[in-house]
């Protein structure tokens, strides 16, 4: 008797290559670059991160900084969007042929990435503003405990807001999102990706501020935030974890202020 396919095999269907690129290949490539830069930055600073140690932030250096943020956001956020991408790929395959289904899946993911790419642009200019105000060191770390505490406070407060919970519920229910927002064609898929990306941004933007509090290129912080985003969006207790993390961030912020 033929073996019954696993749920993952059913979800992948005939788009294994497409989904492998989007869910595994792109994040791994982004992580490889970020890790290389981080290790060099906290090492000899003569390799892939040498461009960061510039005294003149011209257009070329700002563009590289934006590319670094965009790669980091893609590496951090794409894995937690896997349920949406898998569900969409399966539904699209049932509605059209394999070639079109793959292009639609690329379109959905592209729309999602566009949102985080635009966020990366905002993060780039925020980093330059913090550095110019001497609130951020050349090593992309907070220059004072007060600055770090303020970021922890902002992130902690946002974690407890109704908007955070509403965006998180949207991120945690990809099937409901697809059912209510379905649009045909590549353009429709991209629009759906943008809409889901906006919900994801509304859920996670404050957590990304913690990169400034702990060090933008601190791999421990980057990995911890990636894991925490995945827990919030994928774990059964994800909604409760957001409230718990908010309370913990407020406690940490107060401790840093009075320390």
Domain coordinates of the chain in residue numbers? Answer: 7-258
Task: Specify whether the CB–CB gap between 134 and 140 falls below 8 A.
Answer: no
Average of pLDDT values for 80-91?
91
The pLDDT-based confidence of 20 (bands split at 50, 70, 90) is confident
Task: Specify whether the CB–CB gap between 130 and 212 falls below 8 A.
Answer: yes
Its sign, for the CA torsion 242, 244, 245, 249, is positive
Residue whose C-alpha is closest to residue 79's, from 199, 171, 14: 171
The confidence score (pLDDT) of residue 123 equals 97
Q: How far is CA 151 from CA 26, 111, 125, 188, 190, in A?
A: 29, 29, 16, 37, 32
The confidence score (pLDDT) of residue 176 equals 93
The pLDDT-based confidence of 15 (bands split at 50, 70, 90) is low
Average of pLDDT values for 187-210?
96
Q: Is it the case that residue 247 has pLDDT exceeding 60?
A: yes
Burial of 217 (0-12, 13-18, 19+ CB in 10 A): buried
- Give the span between the Cα atoms of 257 and 259, in whole angstroms: 6
Q: Is it the case that residue 57 has pLDDT exceeding 60?
A: yes
- Give the span between the Cα atoms of 149 and 220, in whole angstroms: 18
Average of pLDDT values for 39-50?
87
DSSP H helical ranges for the chain: 7-12, 16-19, 26-41, 59-77, 82-95, 98-132, 145-159, 162-172, 174-181, 185-208, 210-214, 219-234, 238-258
Average of pLDDT values for 159-174?
95
- Give the span between the Cα atoms of 36 and 227, in whole angstroms: 20
Average of pLDDT values for 57-78?
95
Average of pLDDT values for 100-107?
88
Q: Is it the case that residue 10 has pLDDT exceeding 70?
A: no
pTM of the model: 0.89
220-229 burial code (b ≥16 CB/10 A, e <16): ebbeebbebb
Coil, strand or helix at 81: helix
The confidence score (pLDDT) of residue 88 equals 92
The token pair at 94 is: 């049932």
Burial of 2 (0-12, 13-18, 19+ CB in 10 A): exposed
The pLDDT-based confidence of 7 (bands split at 50, 70, 90) is very low
The confidence score (pLDDT) of residue 98 equals 65
Percent of the chain with pLDDT over 70: 93
Q: Is it the case that residue 191 has pLDDT exceeding 60?
A: yes
Least confident of 78-87, 97-106, 172-181, 229-238: 97-106
Average pLDDT over the chain, rounded to an integer: 89
- Give the span between the Cα atoms of 21 and 26, in whole angstroms: 6
């Amino acid at each position: 008797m033929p073996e019954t396919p696993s749920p993952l095999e059913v979800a992948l269907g005939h788009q294994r290559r497409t989904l492998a690129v989007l869910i595994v290949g792109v994040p791994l490539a982004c992580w490889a670059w970020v890790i290389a830069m981080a290790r060099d930055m906290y090492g000899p600073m003569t390799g892939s991160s040498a461009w960061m140690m510039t005294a003149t932030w011209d257009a070329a250096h700002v563009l590289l900084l934006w590319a670094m943020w965009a790669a980091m956001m893609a590496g951090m956020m794409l894995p937690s969007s896997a349920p949406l991408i898998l569900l969409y790929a399966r539904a699209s395959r049932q509605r059209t042929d394999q070639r079109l289904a793959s292009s639609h899946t690329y379109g959905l993911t592209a729309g999602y990435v566009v949102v985080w790419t635009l966020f990366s642009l905002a993060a780039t200019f925020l980093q330059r503003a913090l550095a110019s105000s001497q609130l951020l060191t050349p090593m992309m770390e907070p220059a004072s405990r007060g600055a770090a505490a303020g970021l922890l406070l902002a992130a902690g407060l946002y974690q407890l807001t109704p908007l955070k919970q509403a965006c998180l519920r949207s991120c945690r229910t990809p099937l409901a999102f697809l059912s209510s927002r379905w649009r045909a064609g590549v353009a429709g898929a991209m629009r759906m990706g943008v809409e889901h990306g906006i919900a994801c941004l509304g859920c996670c933007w404050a957590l990304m501020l913690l990169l400034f509090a702990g060090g933008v290129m601190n791999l421990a912080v980057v990995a911890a935030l990636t894991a925490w985003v995945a827990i919030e969006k994928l774990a059964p207790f994800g909604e409760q974890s957001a409230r718990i993390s908010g309370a913990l961030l407020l406690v940490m912020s107060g401790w840093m202020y009075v320390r």
